[in-house]
Chains A and B, each alone.
Chain A
Amino acid sequence: MKIGVLALQGDFAEHIAMLRRIGAETAEVRLPQHLEGLNGLIIPGGESTTIGKMAVAYGLIDALRQFGQTQAIWGTCAGAIFLSKDAQRQQPLLGLMDITVERNAFGRQVDSFEADLHIPALQQADPTPYHAIFIRAPLIESVNGSAQILAQLTDGRIVAALQGKLLATSFHPELTADDRFHRYFLRLAQ
């Protein structure tokens, strides 16, 4: 199982470290040819505008759209924004997932937070609540078409969504020691 991590900007090194720890092969993806032979791709946290601009500049938009037709892609935070169809402002998006997101929906950095989530899909084997870290996080305002809700805050706001092999999370599993989300993604990529 070989998983690529989009390495244009952001915390791609944290995803790579976590993937290696659970036994996956990894590759950094900066150019379209780096997608060859991958079973899945993670788009890390970072600044979605920076990641989008670098993807446009190096011909990755079409390559990633094509990759996502058959392979698994998981976007965390900025990556979730980049995967979405609609971010309610002008910036380059892949438009692969039928979700609408709102950037910086919780406020500025002083409003960044940690919270325990109840995520049935992850808690079958280990019932411990999932402790999530939200940093200038986006909110998934709505899931449409075949996309479905995977996790919500206790007030009902959506923070994770799934559409076939495509996964979006507003928070950062790569910043924790809990590898349940990365194992979940490896199953999607199989």
Chain B
Amino acid sequence: METTTGTFAVKAGLAQMLKGGVIMDVVNAEQAKIAEEAGACAVMALERVPADIRAQGGVARMSDPELILKIMESVSIPVMAKCRIGHFVEAQILESLGVDYIDESEVLTPADEEHHIYKHDFKVPFVCGARNLGEALRRVGEGAAMIRTKGEAGTGDVVEAVRHARTVLGEIRRIQNLPTEELMAYAKNIGAPFELLLQTVQLGKLPVVNFAAGGIATPADAALMMQLGVDGVFVGSGIFKSGDPAKRANAIVKAVTHFKDASILAEVSKNLGEPMVGRNISQMPESEKIAGRGW
């Protein structure tokens, strides 16, 4: 049979299938099942959620393959896993496990402070974080098949997620109105590959699917990001660090589907129990922020 695997179309295509959905951080098979039962469109398998990585400190690395495999066996939905920025051997290991997506993530401690992974070399697709259009298009240039705005992971404070989504989407709106001759200088100024910038102008959106992440903790937070114009959301610590994870997870899934319907949003926001405690980013020292990781 004449077939081809690992093409950019199938890599970017899986992200298309995740749209309008919620990708949830899980640390074991039991949580993965709760996430699937609540309606998650995928799970992110990791040893510690970002809030715990923050609290415990130290070097954060790729999770134990055994843990990732157990999570893969426990659910039928796609399973993602994180590798460190620039750590292409962690990525090779994750690919060999058969994970469905790799997140080259600033939440883990970077392995390279200048270079990201050359992602076109892999059959498995990658998602990468971005705070602005230049960063997003550099990642796509390296082969990322999906982008997520970074936010500030493990805080439960949505302010950075809003800032980054508004920045990326605002820049895309701005370049729609630039005369063509100004696009080269614009590409130079934001450090974006010119051809990808042109493609973004033509499409009126990023060339790949764009989710929001980093600090989303409530159904209202998730619907806010959707109304700002992202394609779906990642929820990390916000679910399993809350009082009633199953109920909150299901409420956030419903909020992403019905993001424009305020009466449904009100209904699903009722009686969710305690949200994650959260950290106020405006009072956080610069040294503790992780969104700046990525080059």
Count, chain B residues at interface, CB 8 A: 41
Cβ contact within 8 Å between B18 and A108 = no
Binds B, one of A44-52, A139-147, A161-169: A44-52
Q: Complex: how many Å from CA A14 to CA B4?
A: 23
CB of B198, distance to nearest CB on chain A (Å): 19
- Cβ-closest chain B residue relative to A134: B10
Which B residue sits closest to A78, measured CB to CB?
B17
Q: How far is the CA of A171 from the CA of B250 in the complex (A)?
A: 28
Identify the closest chain A residue to B268 (Cβ).
A57
CB nearest neighbor in A for B13: A135
Cβ A9 vs Cβ B257 within 8 A: yes
B contact residues around A115 at 8 Å (CB): 1-4
Complex CA–CA separation, A109 to B99 (angstroms): 7
Interface flags for B100-131 (1: CB within 8 Å of A; 0: not) read 11000000000000000000000111000000
**CB of B293 closer than 8 Å to a CB of A:** no
Asked if B41 is at the interface (CB within 8 A of a chain A CB), the reply is yes
Q: How many A-B residue pairs have CB under 8 A?
A: 123
Q: Write the chain A residue with the least CB distance to B19.
A: A11
The answer to whether B40 has its CB under 8 Å from any CB of chain A is: yes
Q: Is B20 an interface residue, CB under 8 A from the partner?
A: yes
Q: Are B17 and A11 in contact (CB under 8 A)?
A: yes
Indicate if A116 sits at the interface (CB-CB under 8 A). Answer: yes
Q: How far is the CA of A102 from the CA of B257 in the complex (A)?
A: 26
Q: A103 to chain B: which residues have CB within 8 Å?
A: 76
Residue in contact with A89 in the complex, picked from B1, B16, B76, B261, CB distance below 8 Å: B76
**Contact of B39 with A by CB under 8 A:** yes
A9 to chain B, nearest CB (A): 4
B19: A residues at CB distance < 8 A: 9-13, 46
Q: Are A9 and B20 in contact (CB under 8 A)?
A: yes
* Contact digits for B1-28, partner A, Cβ 8 Å, 1 yes 0 no: 1111111011101101111110000000
Q: Are B123 and A49 in contact (CB under 8 A)?
A: no
Q: Which residues of A contact B10 (CB under 8 A)?
A: 109, 112-114, 133-135
The answer on a CB contact under 8 Å between A45 and B16 is yes
Interface residues on A, range: 35 or more
Complex CA gap A108/B3 in Å reads 15
- Name which residue of chain A comes closest to B98, CB basis: A108
Note all chain A residues with C-beta closer than 8 A to B95. Answer: 110
Contacts of B2 in A (CB 8 A): 115-116, 154
Q: Is A186 an interface residue (CB 8 A)?
A: no
Question: Which residues of A come within 8 Å of B, CB atoms?
Answer: 7-14, 30, 45-47, 49-50, 53-54, 57, 77-78, 89, 103-104, 107-116, 133-136, 153-155, 172, 175
Q: Residues of B with Cβ closer than 8 Å to A? A: 1-7, 9-11, 13-14, 16-21, 36, 38-42, 76-78, 95, 98-101, 123-125, 253-254, 256-258, 261
- New A-B pairs, 15, CB < 8 Å, besides A14-B16, A49-B77, A54-B257: A11-B19, A46-B18, A47-B77, A49-B76, A50-B40, A53-B253, A54-B254, A109-B99, A110-B98, A110-B123, A112-B14, A115-B1, A134-B10, A136-B78, A175-B16
Query: What are 30 pairs between A and B in contact, CB < 8 Å?
Result: A8-B257, A9-B19, A9-B20, A9-B21, A10-B17, A10-B19, A11-B16, A11-B17, A45-B16, A45-B17, A47-B42, A50-B21, A50-B77, A77-B17, A78-B17, A109-B99, A110-B98, A110-B123, A110-B124, A112-B5, A112-B13, A113-B10, A114-B3, A133-B10, A134-B10, A135-B10, A135-B13, A135-B17, A153-B1, A175-B9
Q: Which A-B residue pairs are the 8 nearest by beta carbons?
A: A109-B100, A112-B10, A11-B16, A113-B3, A115-B3, A47-B41, A9-B20, A53-B39
